[in-house]
Amino acid sequence: MQSPEKPRTDVFSTGADDRSPFDVAPRVRLDRAFSVGVMDPASRLLNLLSEPRIPILMYHGINAELRRAHPYFETNTSPELFERHMQFLSTNGYKGIGPEEVAEAVRNRHNTEKYVAVTFDDGYQDFYREAFPILRKYGLTATVYVVPGFADGHHTGPRGEKYMSWSELKEVSAHGVQIGSHTMTHPRLYALQPHQINDEIRQSKELIQEKLGIPVHSFAYPFAFPEQDGGFVRTLRSLLQTNGYRTGVCTVIGRAHRGHDCLFFPRLPVNSYDDLRLFEVKLNGGYDWLQKVQYSTKLLKARFS
């Protein structure tokens, strides 16, 4: 049985194939040009004046295959480039932390540490095979948001990806990798009724805790996050709190800061097209401007759909 393929709903979230306003031709990276040439210098200045902002990196698959038609929407990162990313973080003094530590750090206005949170969605087996050894090599940690309903060995991802088994999840957890929930079966929560959403986030948490013997307090929203729908966000927040979640992440672009809801921290998507220059720009905030474009696009889609 295969999990459903991710829908095309959000032009700036992973898993989407929609054309963005900046997609004028394949391989043309207007977002990169503007981020590197204009926003990077501005963001470095703003960083001196603003409260702490922490980059939460969003990875999916760690393998060399390119699966998207355009760099914006790629979800894979090659093992070679992933190692260069982790080496960059280590060499430049970044300290890897988990989501609860992010929530604590952004509340400290005087924090001067160079923190980064490395996260993975879905829990693919290539995390165990490729990313886990690299993280250990550079003394970094990560949070993996898993779909426990797919950890039985009988499911594959939308393009045949294998998921980590319970024994593999137990091993990485024992070596400091934090495990979070990515729902029980990776559905589009926005299309479900509240009681169905509750089942997805409750059952996922309970099964991970049962199988691994660890507490689960963090949640990653699957697919594009409907931040434009305040009623849905309030309902989801209430359900997450009721089920004992303390932190969460989503597909909204940006770095985490004190003004964000700690259950829906934004992240920075990373893939095989993120050369070290663009990677550095994202860490420093030069990519955060895309959140406004992302949000405006969602509002327009909601209005005309």
Question: Pairing state of beta strands 61-62 and 76-77?
Answer: parallel
How many other C-beta atoms are found inside a 10 Å radius of the C-beta of residue 150? Answer: 25
4 lies in some domain: no
- Give the domain extent around 107: 30-304
Q: What is the DSSP string of 234-302?
A: HHHHHHHHHTT--EEEEEEES-B-TTS-TTSEEEEE--TT--HHHHHHHHHTTTTTHHHHHHHHHHHHH
Residue 227 belongs to a domain: yes
Token pair 């927040």: residue: 237
Which pLDDT belongs to residue 28? 60
Query: CB neighbours of 72 closer than 8 A, spacing ≥ 6?
Result: 11, 12, 20, 22, 23, 31
Amino acid at 298: K
Amino acid letter for position 24 = V
Residue among 1, 269, 8, 12 at smallest CA distance from 157 = 1
Please list the rounded mean pLDDT of every run of 10 residues in the chain (305 residues): 36 35 50 94 88 95 86 93 98 97 91 94 98 98 98 89 97 98 98 98 98 98 97 98 98 97 98 96 97 94 86
pTM (2 decimals)? Answer: 0.90
Please give the pLDDT value at position 66.
87
Q: What is the CATH number of the domain that holds 295?
A: 3.20.20.370
Total tally of structural domains belonging to the chain: 1
**Residue 20 CA neighbour count, 13 Å, CB half:** 25
Contact 265, 220 (CB under 8 A): no
Q: What is the pLDDT of residue 134?
A: 98
Q: For residue range 65-110, list pLDDT tens digits in order.
A: 987 768 888 999 999 999 999 999 999 999 999 999 999 999 988 7
Distance of CA 106 to the CA centre of its chain: 18
Residue 10 lies in a domain: no
Residue 5 placed within a domain? no
